[in-house]
């Protein structure tokens, strides 16, 4: 099912949107008056600084931009979850050691160990209690600093959690209300988004229990807004809360949330759906509307349902208008929270990664503020539809809201996060007419981490109000300066300008945006895979002689002109991205996301090699200059030239039939060589389309010829043919060796070979890693593209202490993956490339069934799908006893898992021992360990704390060592040199009688 888009496309130019927001605000605000109201609040907070252990104080002393602040954040994120003492000690030593906690900064250690321990005695359990994990604390007790750090982190966490249980949280709330009667609470159950259905059901249970608990204190007769309420995250309630899974989400998630709504309506309490990432917004709105319809039908008297809206989104105002219209349409009064937004950094990164035309969020802080105020105005003007809840810790924002609310006279409440902005809110709440709801996280310390880091980042950002409030050097007037102005340009380069003026980034698509998605679906309907005639291997001498003679002219063309044809090809490919994606889906069974990434990679190769060739192929005078002085012996000139070598054979694989195919031929052509391209026999159609595109862009037909046919015949004949100047090959190690032997056996010049081959790629995970993050990267690395990437994860090495938990999560998440027709947007894994590959993998699975322990990674649905689409293999996982049990790469969605203990360097040694060296993932929060492991690994591409696939051209040059290839790395600065011959020309400039230049000087 495809959703109709409710809001405008989120990727639009920022300046025009801000101008519109300013216009909609008009003269609504008198900022001088706003600042006048807010200034005494600020002064009062500055006059009564919070205690040392409060977040504001810590961040003031150790900002996250400093090594110390970063160390504290890292520790806060990871330390509490580390189950084993050795690793906890290593993590603490690493983080405290890398920051400057010596000399004048010694205060951190002394304060952590004295103040934190002393304070924590009041709050925290000591050795041997439920939460403190006895073994760990007891062992760490010997190391005072480590123990102090652990306690300090727990203390820090406690700043933000109202209680570890609802009972504890509610009793805290009762005490706080005694002090400040105009407080209300919205409880939030801590925890990461669900990766498995079991997680989702656990979250559901905890929301149900929380609502039941809140219901005991709520009153059916009081206005709903006067009761405490609950905030829920939809991503916690479904393991695949993603746009692509819309059918499942509507069928499975809506009933779960509806149950909670009914419960909340019966208790007459507010239930707010938290706002999450922009790419889930349309999906959230679909869920929200489905629920609204039910509320309108079954409990229209309930006035507590609502959602949170983020003003940093460029679509915020349209969202507000949409929700107001929905409330009126369903004749409901909603309670809606306006926030600025908590995922700004993640939104920026995603837009950059996807190569989107604009950011979906504002890039200047004051634009977010302008948007917030414009949205607030719209909310206050619609009291029939909404009861607005303004969540902010910013004194100026709050004062501006109060000013606008006074004019409209509409009811509203303020909101703040527990542990944040208390000082300002205390000042504001001296007015008993104003109510404030506290967002109150409840949960165990171990579930606090992600939430805590969000808050640390939020408070630590230089632009954050809370951060600036703590900076007493910043004058109050500056802190409260009016945001009501517009910047003409974004504060960051747009995603397409990330690589500077050297080359434009390739543009991608966001499949959640109909206009972007529709172009792909239209192309799919109209694109045919061309049939490509098979070349007769006996006739290779013909194309070879064309190639050799074409070399004579093509190599003489200036490099700038050759580069221009590549750039033209890139532009054409960018324009035809939907058609090439469709071809990739049809011929290579790529999923849509994989297809987009692949076309973008091909575009990047073309542009990157064009720029590289222009840079390296300029004549270079040697030995060069120092300042203005020419170095070297007088009376002679020396120049170094790079030239092409001749006719290259380019043999590419089916798993990247466009990107690798294009990368190889672009590199050869731009350096002045001619090309005989032999694509994989499974994917000649994509290759033919690309060759045609390049011919149309100006590459002569003789310089680029396509010879389609089996590797054993056409490939072998090309490699063996006399006169070939070089071979570039991507494929199996075995075939690379055969090619190498053939070339070595030939008479004549020694022919260079660039071989990029496979790998048994491992990922090492220690016990500091976040299991959810590990699970995400394993799903992507092992199963994306049905495991048919040379970079794919094959061997996951898990620390014994976390292995059971992580394996359970991985298997649960793998069971949620959708296997099926790749043209279906919901599909995660399409079929493997052909029946032969399928049979080969099945054979390996049969072997593994005997030799290893099969893990339950496959769902019944996945199994059922395999009977409908040919060559489908659902995700597979096996536990093996030893790393050395892996003898060869299985090129499919098959993951091996092994457990390890003690020294992680020993694990790396064993991985090195496999002989392959393509990619490795390292998951650890111990930075020094990550570095040591990376340098110990004889592996070409090392990825720390991320997935290990999807290398970006010019950013992560790709290629391995050992059994994984010869290098140089594709998409890197050294690649083109291997395609070139070098020539120096030395001229004796004194030959004609004497050294005129010397005498003249």
Ligand X SMILES: Cc1cc2nc3c(=O)[nH]c(=O)nc-3n(C[C@H](O)[C@H](O)[C@H](O)COP(=O)(O)OP(=O)(O)OC[C@H]3O[C@@H](n4cnc5c(N)ncnc54)[C@H](O)[C@@H]3O)c2cc1C
State the nearest-atom distance from the C-beta of 422 to ligand X, in Å: 11
Nearer to ligand X, 6 or 280 (CB): 280
Which of 375, 790, 797, 811 is flagged as catalytic?
790
Nearer to ligand X, 288 or 656 (CB): 288
Nearer to ligand X, 111 or 366 (CB): 366
Eight-class DSSP state of 159: T
Q: Which of residues 333-372 bind ligand X (CB under 6 A)?
A: 337, 339-344, 362-365, 367-368
C-beta of 274 vs 681, nearer to ligand X: 274
User: Do 793 and 763 contact (CB within 8 A), yes or no?
Assistant: yes
CA distance 702 to 700: 5
Task: Report the residue number, 471 or 614, with the smaller CB distance to ligand X.
Answer: 471
Footprint of ligand X on residues 260-279 (CB under 6 A)? 274-275
DSSP 505: P
CB of 18 to ligand X, least distance (A): 11
Q: How far is the CB of 454 from ligand X (least distance, A)?
A: 8
- 441 in helix, strand or coil? strand
Binding residue for ligand X (CB under 6 A) from 463, 553, 846, 931? Answer: 463
Site string for ligand X, 432-461 (x = CB under 6 A): -------x------------------x--x
String of DSSP letters for 7-70:
S--S---HHHHHHHHHHHHTT---HHHHHHHHHHHHHHHHHSPPPTTSHHHHHHHS-TTSHHHH
> Which is closer to ligand X, CB of 365 or CB of 562?
365
Least distance in angstroms from the C-beta of 458 to ligand X: 6
Distance of CA 437 to the CA centre of its chain: 33
The number of residues in the chain equals 1001
Are the beta carbons of 702 and 694 closer than 8 angstroms? no
In angstroms, the CA 160 to CA 551 distance is 69
Annotated catalytic residue within 192, 587, 601, 756: 756
Residue with tokens 């496999």: 914
For residue 366, give both structure tokens. Answer: 């004051």
Q: Considering the complex, state which of residue 497 and residue 522 has its C-beta at the smaller distance from ligand X.
A: 497
Q: Which is nearer to ligand X, 414 or 706 (CB)?
A: 414
Q: Which is nearer to ligand X, 14 or 510 (CB)?
A: 14
Letters for 33-52 (x = contact with ligand X by CB under 6 A, - = none) are: --------------------
Measured between alpha carbons, how far is 853 from 864 in angstroms, rounded to an integer?
22
Residue 72 to residue 67: CA distance in whole angstroms: 9
The closest alpha carbon to 585, from 530, 527, 664, belongs to 527
Rounded to the nearest whole angstrom, what is the least distance from the CB of residue 461 to ligand X in the complex? 6
Beta carbon nearer to ligand X, 16 or 198 = 16
Residue closer to ligand X (CB basis): 391 or 559: 391
- Residue 360, C-beta contacts closer than 8 angstroms, at least 6 positions apart: 10, 11, 278, 313, 314, 315, 347, 351
Is 836 known to be catalytic?
Answer: no
Which tokens is 649 given?
């054979």
Q: By CB under 6 A, how many residues form the interface with ligand X?
A: 33
CA distance 20 to 791: 46
Neighbours of 833 (CB within 10 A): 23
Nearer to ligand X, 303 or 425 (CB): 425
Closest CA to 824 of 528, 514, 580, 589: 589
- Residue 169 region by backbone torsions, left for phi larger than 0, else alpha for psi between -120 and 50, else beta: alpha
State how far the alpha carbon of 809 is from the alpha carbons of 374, 732, 770, 962, in Å: 43, 32, 12, 33
Question: Min. distance of Cβ 648 from ligand X in angstroms?
Answer: 48
Q: Which of 74, 377, 416, 799 binds ligand X (CB under 6 A)?
A: 416
Determine the Cα–Cα distance for residues 426 and 51; give it in Å rounded to an integer.
Answer: 16
Q: Which among 211, 213, 202 has a CA at the least distance from the CA of 231? A: 211
479/472 Cα distance (integer angstroms): 10
Helix, strand or coil for residue 267? helix
Do 787 and 830 meet the contact criterion of CB atoms below 8 Å apart?
no
Is cis: bond before 607, omega within 30 of 0? no
Among residue numbers 283 through 322, which ones bind ligand X (CB under 6 A)? 308, 310, 312
Site string for ligand X, 101-140 (x = CB under 6 A): ----------------------------------------
- The least CB distance from residue 459 to ligand X, in Å, is 9
> How many angstroms separate the CA atoms of 866 and 843, rounded?
16
Residue 981 belongs to what H/E stretch? strand 980-988
CA distance 53 to 110: 13
Q: Binding to ligand X by residue 422, rule CB under 6 A?
A: no
Buried b (16+ CB within 10 A) or exposed e, 779-798: bbbbbbbbbbbbbbbbbbbb
> Element (H or E) spanning 487, and its range?
none
Find out whether 422 and 396 touch, Cβ atoms under 8 Å.
no
Q: Which residues ranging from 475 to 514 are in contact with ligand X (CB under 6 A)?
A: 491
CB of 40 to ligand X, least distance (A): 18
SS3 647: strand
Shortest Å distance, C-beta 773 to ligand X: 19
790 is catalytic: yes
Q: Which of 95, 270, 464, 512 binds ligand X (CB under 6 A)?
A: 464
Dihedral (Cα; 254, 258, 261, 266), 10-degree rounding: 180
Least CB distance from residue 371 to ligand X, whole Å? 9
Q: Is 634 left (phi over 0), alpha (psi -120 to 50) or beta?
A: beta
- As measured in angstroms, the least distance from the Cβ of 311 to ligand X is 7
Token pair recorded at residue 254: 């809506």
**Is the previous residue joined to 813 through a cis bond, with omega within 30 degrees of 0?**
no
Q: Least CB distance from residue 156 to ligand X, whole Å?
A: 17
Beta strand 894-900 with 629-630 is: unpaired
Cβ 171 to ligand X shortest distance, Å? 21
Cβ proximity to ligand X, 312 vs 916, nearer residue? 312
Q: Which of residues 376-415 bind ligand X (CB under 6 A)?
A: 391-394, 397, 415
Sites of contact with ligand X (CB under 6 A): 274-275, 308, 310, 312, 337, 339-344, 362-365, 367-368, 391-394, 397, 415-417, 439, 458, 461, 463-465, 491
Catalytic residues: 756, 790
């Amino acid at each position: 099912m495809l959703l109709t888009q409710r809001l405008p496309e989120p990727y639009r130019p920022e300046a025009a949107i801000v101008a519109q927001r300013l216009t909609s605000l008009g003269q609504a605000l008198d900022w001088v008056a706003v600042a006048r109201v807010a200034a005494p609040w600020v002064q009062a907070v500055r006059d009564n600084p919070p205690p040392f252990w409060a977040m504001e104080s810590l961040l003031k002393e150790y900002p996250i931009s400093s090594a110390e602040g970063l160390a504290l954040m890292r520790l806060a994120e990871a330390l509490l979850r580390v189950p084993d003492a050795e690793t906890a000690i290593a993590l603490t030593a690493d983080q405290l050691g890398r920051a400057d906690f010596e000399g004048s900064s010694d205060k951190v250690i002394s304060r952590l160990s004295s103040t934190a321990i002393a304070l924590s005695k009041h709050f925290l359990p000591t050795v041997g209690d439920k939460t403190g994990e006895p073994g760990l604390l007891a062992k760490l007790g010997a190391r005072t600093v480590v123990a102090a750090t652990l306690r300090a982190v727990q203390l820090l966490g406690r700043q933000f959690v109202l209680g570890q249980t609802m009972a504890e949280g509610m009793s805290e709330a009762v005490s706080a209300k005694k002090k400040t009667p105009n407080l209300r609470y919205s409880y939030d159950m801590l925890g990461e988004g669900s990766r498995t259905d079991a997680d989702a059901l656990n979250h559901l249970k905890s929301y149900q229990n929380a609502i039941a608990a809140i219901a005991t204190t709520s009153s059916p007769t009081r206005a709903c807004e006067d009761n405490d309420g609950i905030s829920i995250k939809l991503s916690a309630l479904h393991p695949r809360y993603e746009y692509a899974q819309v059918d499942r989400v509507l069928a499975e998630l809506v009933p779960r949330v509806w149950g909670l709504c009914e419960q909340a309506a019966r208790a007459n309490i507010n239930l707010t759906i938290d706002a999450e990432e922009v790419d889930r917004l349309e999906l959230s709105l679909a869920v929200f509307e489905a629920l609204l319809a039910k509320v309108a039908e079954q409990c229209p008297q309930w006035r507590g349902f609502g959602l949170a809206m983020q003003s940093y989104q460029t679509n915020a105002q349209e969202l507000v208008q949409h929700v107001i219209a929905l409330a009126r349409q369903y004749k409901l009064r909603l309670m809606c929270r306006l926030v600025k937004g908590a995922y700004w950094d993640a939104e920026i990164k995603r837009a950059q990664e996807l190569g989107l035309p604009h950011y979906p969020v504002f890039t200047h802080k004051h634009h977010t503020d302008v948007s917030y105020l414009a949205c607030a105005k719209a909310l206050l003007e619609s009291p029939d539809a909404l009861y607005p809840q303004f969540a902010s810790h910013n004194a100026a924002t709050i004062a501006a809201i109060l000013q606008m609310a006074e004019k409209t006279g509409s009811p509203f409440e303020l909101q703040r996060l527990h542990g944040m902005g208390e000082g300002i809110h205390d000042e504001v709440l001296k007015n008993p007419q104003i109510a404030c709801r506290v967002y109150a996280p409840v949960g165990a310390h171990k579930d606090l981490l992600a939430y805590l880091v969000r808050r640390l980042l939020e408070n630590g950002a230089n632009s954050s109000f809370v951060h600036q409030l703590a900076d007493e050097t910043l004058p109050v007037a500056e802190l409260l300066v009016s945001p009501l102005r517009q910047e003409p340009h974004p504060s960051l380069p747009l995603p397409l300008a990330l690589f500077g003026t050297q080359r434009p980034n390739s543009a991608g698509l966001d499949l959640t945006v109909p206009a972007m998605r529709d172009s792909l679906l239209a192309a799919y309907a109209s694109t045919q895979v061309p049939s490509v005639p098979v070349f007769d291997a006996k006739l290779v001498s013909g194309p070879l002689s064309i190639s050799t003679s074409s070399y004579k002219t093509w190599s003489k063309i200036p490099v700038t002109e050759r580069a221009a044809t590549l750039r033209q090809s890139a532009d054409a490919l960018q324009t035809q991205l939907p058609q090439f994606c469709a071809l990739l889906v049809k011929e290579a069974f790529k999923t849509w996301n994989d297809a987009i990434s692949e076309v973008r990679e091909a575009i990047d190769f073309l542009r990157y090699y064009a720029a590289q060739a222009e840079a390296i192929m300029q004549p270079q005078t040697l030995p060069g200059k120092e300042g203005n002085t020419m170095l070297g012996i007088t009376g002679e000139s020396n120049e170094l030239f790079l030239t092409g070598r001749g006719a290259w054979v380019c043999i590419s694989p089916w798993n990247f039939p466009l990107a690798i195919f294009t990368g190889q031929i672009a590199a050869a052509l731009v350096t002045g060589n001619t090309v005989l391209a032999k694509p994989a026999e499974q994917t000649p159609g994509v290759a033919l389309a690309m060759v045609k595109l390049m011919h149309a862009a100006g590459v002569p037909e003789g310089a680029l010829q396509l010879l389609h046919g089996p590797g054993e015949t056409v490939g072998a004949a090309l490699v063996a043919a006399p006169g070939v100047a070089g071979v570039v090959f991507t494929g199996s190690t075995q075939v690379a060796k055969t090619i190498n032997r053939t070339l070595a056996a030939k008479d004549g010049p020694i022919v260079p070979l660039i071989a990029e081959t496979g790998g048994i790629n491992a990922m090492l995970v220690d016990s500091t890693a976040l299991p959810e993050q590990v699970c995400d990267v394993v799903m992507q690395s092992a199963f994306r593209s049905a495991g048919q990437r040379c970079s794919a994860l094959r061997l996951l090495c898990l620390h014994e202490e976390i292995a059971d938990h992580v394996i359970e999560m991985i298997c649960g998440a793998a069971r949620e993956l959708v296997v099926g027709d790749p043209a279906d947007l919901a599909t995660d894994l399409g079929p493997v490339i052909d029946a032969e590959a399928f049979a080969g993998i099945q054979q390996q699975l049969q072997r593994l069934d005997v030799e290893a322990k099969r893990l339950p990674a496959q769902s019944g649905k996945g199994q059922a799908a395999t009977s409908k689409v040919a060559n489908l293999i659902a995700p597979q996982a096996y536990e093996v006893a030893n790393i050395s049990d892996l003898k060869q790469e299985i090129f499919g969605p098959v993951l091996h898992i092994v457990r390890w203990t003690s020294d992680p360097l020993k694990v790396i040694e064993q991985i090195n021992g496999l002989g392959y060296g393509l990619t490795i993932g390292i998951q650890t929060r111990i930075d020094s360990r990550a570095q040591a492991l990376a340098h110990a690994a004889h592996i070409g591409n090392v990825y720390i704390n991320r997935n290990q696939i999807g290398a970006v051209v010019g950013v992560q040059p790709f290629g391995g060592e050992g059994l994984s290839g010869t290098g140089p790395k594709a998409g890197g600065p050294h690649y083109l040199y291997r395609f070139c011959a070098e020539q120096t020309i030395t001229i004796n400039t004194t030959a004609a009688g004497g050294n005129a230049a010397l005498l003249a000087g």
